[in-house]
Structure 1
Amino acid sequence: MRKILILANNDVGLYKFRKELIEELLKNYEVYISLPYGEFIPNLKEMGCKFIDTAISRRGTDPFTDLKLFSFYLDIIKKVKPNVVLTYTIKPNVYGGLACRLAKVPYIVNITGLGTAVENGGFLQNITLFLYKVALKKSSCTFFQNQENLEFFKKKSITKRKKIILPGSGVNLQDYSLLDYPSGKTINFLFIARVMKEKGIDQYLSAAEFIKKKYPNTAFHILGFCEKNYKGKLYEMQEKGIVEYHGMQKDVKKFHIHSHCTIHPSYYPEGMSNVLLESAACGRPVITTNRSGCREIVNDGVNGYLVSQKNTHDLIEKIEKFLTLSNEAKKQMGIEGRRKVEREFNRQEIIKIYLDEINSVLK
């Protein structure tokens, strides 16, 4: 049986956003997955994947650690002898791509966002782009999740090989079905993300403090892993009744049931926001940043609102605008969001594109 090797940096994204693709691949291929051990690895192994425990320093910049990763990928490729390799996120893309190029194995790359190293510019950006240029020189195809990322790579002449835009990871429309819209007196807002500066948590907390004082019948919920420097602030604001912090949640759907709107003021350089896709699929209006990876999911004023990044005043204005809508108008916004996801972000369409590319490579 032919073999496919998948290089990724975490189990959560691989299982939650690419499970359906892996299920399809397992019908015709042996599937090997190389990534650090995590709570979803047993699920992936149960599906039939062969797991290779791989240490990755996701945000580290130590060249010796990265050299070890490159060497490890080379060893994996020699042992597994895959027919094609799929890579996700910066380090697997770069060091996996380099290893594939050296081993002369076909590989398909997915740019899941530019990452802060590229977004922030400077020396680190130059190094990262140089590595990308070398790594993607022989790629069979490079997938991008938004037009802006693709244009950036074109402008920087990173790769002249085949490039395709995917609508992110898409949504499983059965898993995230259209929910009844809540009719309670309290309007619930949801923030679902890692609690960190670049995800817009400061803007969300400031807006919550202002809105809660002016509109007591509102509730601001936060779901996600909290970085240490925000824990104290969250618990302090929770004690004051401004926010409700629920920690990291495996299943966010139960929170969407009671939510009226998802607020995602992120300015993190992501490819396509899965938080927004899943919220819209559930029939929830969204308020998010007017930047790539977020704006593609919102028709402003139709299924949500766009705000300027890092702009708390604009965020407050859009929340107030949302609060003035009737419950029926809010519900209709959510329905429009569901329709948009069905038209543009169905995960099954993404799987077809992947399978077509893999088949093309293996002909």
Structure 2
Amino acid sequence: MPKALILANSSSGLYDFRNEILTGLMDEGFEVTVSLPDDLKAKELQDEGCKVIHTDINRRGVNPVQDMALFGAYRRLLKSEKPDIVITYTIKPNIYGGFACRLARIPYVSTITGLGSTFERGGTLLKLIVAMYKTALKGCSCLFFQNEYNHQIFEQHGIRGKKTVVVNGSGVNLDKHKFEEYPGHKDDVTRFLYIGRLMKEKGTEELLYAARKAHEKYGDKVSFAAVGYSEEDFEEPVKEATLAGYFKSIPYQKDIHPFIKEADAIVHPSYHEGMSNVLMEAAATGRPVITTDINGCKEVVNKDVSGLLCRPRDKESLYEAIDRFMELPMEKRIEMGKAARDHVEQKFDRRSIILTYINEIKQIV
């Protein structure tokens, strides 16, 4: 029985967005082991038949001591598990897992799930990251990108694997995220929902500004809520917004579908994405989306048909999009939700994306 080892930085990210790859590999006769830094979805993965191994990862920033410890942990893991193929996601598993696989001469495939802020800021850190990526991915049997823009940026920096495949993100499970009729709340309150970490790069400053300004205009006829953890820098601003009555913060939820179901629209003012899973899930549920006009977000939106776009890092532009949505009649909002579902059915069905991954993996092993 061939063995696949998955290196990832989040159990929820792996289970919620890439679980079908694991179950698909097991259906093909693979033994699957996953390496994760947390146990939020460890039980679910184990119940499906995966072996789960804990591996500490500092997800934020660069710490040479911790990062070298991660590299050492991956080397030991390869030696003990003896996988036939390794599959890596996100920057640190991609880089340090790639280093370890090259040294061990074990084939590996990696997925670029987004570029992060380093590629925007440039400087010495970018030069370091590019050099590490070049070395780590040089031996990668197949390098997956979630949008063409990210692929072109890597090409410009000379970062390449042996083969490249561009897919439409992780796709969305259309059965799990089923279409829901538009809520039509009896209290006539328009409910906007944000899903994800409250942090600068996800547009939290702009979101809080737009929520305050919309509340000033529409009063109790508008509601803003966020589901997810708050980064330290935004704990106080979020608390102030909550006390002021124009924002509600809800802790991370394992099942996000009921929250999307009750929302009138999903707001996602991110600065950069690989391909936004939040937007795909919202659209699949039949909810209009308001998001930034950037690669990784705009592809999920049929502009002005299934959602609205605003300029990134522009609080007034975000507010204007929200204000436009507030002025839409109920019939138009319902049409947008249906168009959103149609759009992801045509372009983001996870089944076709998983098939692409598994076919590539079977060619390697």
Please tell me the TM-score bracket, short chain as reference.
over 0.9
d(CA) in 1 for partners of 2:276 and 2:20? 18
Q: Which of 225, 228, 235 is matched with 2:229 structurally? A: 225
Q: Contact conserved, 2:142 with 2:161, CA < 8 A, in 1?
A: no
On the 8 A contact 2:95/2:136 being kept in 1, the answer is yes
Deviations 1:214-265 (A, max 9, x none): 1121111111101233233323322322112222222222122221111111
Match of 2:205 among 199, 202, 209: 202
Q: Mean alpha-carbon deviation: is it higher for 276-285 or for 58-67?
A: 58-67
Matched, 1:181 2:215: no
Larger deviation, residues 252-261 vs 197-206? 252-261
For 2:183, give the aligned amino acid.
P
Alignment-derived partner of residue 8 in structure 2: 8
Residue of structure 2 equivalent to 1:162: 163
User: d(CA) in 2 for partners of 1:305 and 1:137?
Assistant: 39
Provide the TM-score with structure 2 as the length reference.
0.96
1:146-199 Cα deviation digits (max 9, x unpaired) = 111000011111115211111111111011011110212111111111011111
My pick for the range that moved more, 152-161 or 79-88, is 152-161
For 1:101 and 1:160, the matched residues in 2 are separated by 12
Partners of 2:36 and 2:56 within 8 A in 1: yes
Q: Which runs of 4+ in 1 moved over 3 A?
A: none
Name the SS for the 1:33 alignment partner.
strand
Partners of 1:52 and 1:38 lie apart in 2 by: 10
Partner in structure 2 of residue 323 of structure 1: 326
Q: Distance in 2 between matches of 1:74 and 1:38?
A: 22
Alpha-carbon contact 2:141-2:161 (below 8 Å) kept: no
Amino acid at match of 1:244: K
1:115 aligns to what SS in structure 2? coil
Whether 1:41 aligns to 2:42 is yes
1:62: how far off?
A: 2.1
Whether the 8 Å CA contact 1:188–1:261 is kept in 2: the answer is: yes
Q: How big is each residue's C-alpha offset from its partner over 1:285-336, in whole Å with a ceiling of 9 and x where there is no partner?
A: 0110111111111121111111111111111111111122110111111111
Q: Where in structure 2 are there 5+ consecutive unaligned residues?
A: none
CA contact (8 A) 1:109 1:142 kept: yes
Task: Measure, in 1, the Cα distance between the counterparts of 2:259 and 2:112.
Answer: 30
Structure 1 partner of 2:23 = 23
Report if the CA contact (8 A) 1:118-1:124 is conserved.
no
1:66 aligned partner: 67
Letter in 1 for 2:262: H
Q: Secondary structure at the match of 2:344?
A: helix
Q: Distance in 2 between matches of 1:186 and 1:90?
A: 41
1:127 counterpart = 2:131 = no
SS at match of 1:12: helix
1:244 alignment partner in structure 2: 248
| 1:78 match | 79
- The residue type paired with residue 44 of structure 1 is L
Q: Residue 21 of structure 1: CA displacement?
A: 1.4
Match 1:285 to one of 284, 288, 302: 288
* 1:356 aligns to 2:353 (yes or no): no
2:297 alignment partner in structure 1: 294
Structure 1 residue identity aligned to 2:268: H
Q: What is the alpha-carbon distance in structure 2 between the residues aligned to residue 172 and residue 321 of structure 1?
A: 30
Q: 8 Å contact 1:97–1:135 — kept in the other structure?
A: yes
The farther-off stretch of 282-291 and 245-254 is 245-254
CA drift of 1:29 comes to 0.8
Amino acid at match of 1:255: F
Aligned amino acid, residue 144 of structure 1? F
Distance in 2 (CA, whole Å) between partners of 1:37 and 1:305 is 35
Where does the alignment leave 5 or more consecutive residues of structure 1 unmatched? none
Question: How big is the shift at 1:345?
Answer: 0.7
Aligned length: 361
Q: Identity, % of aligned pairs?
A: 43
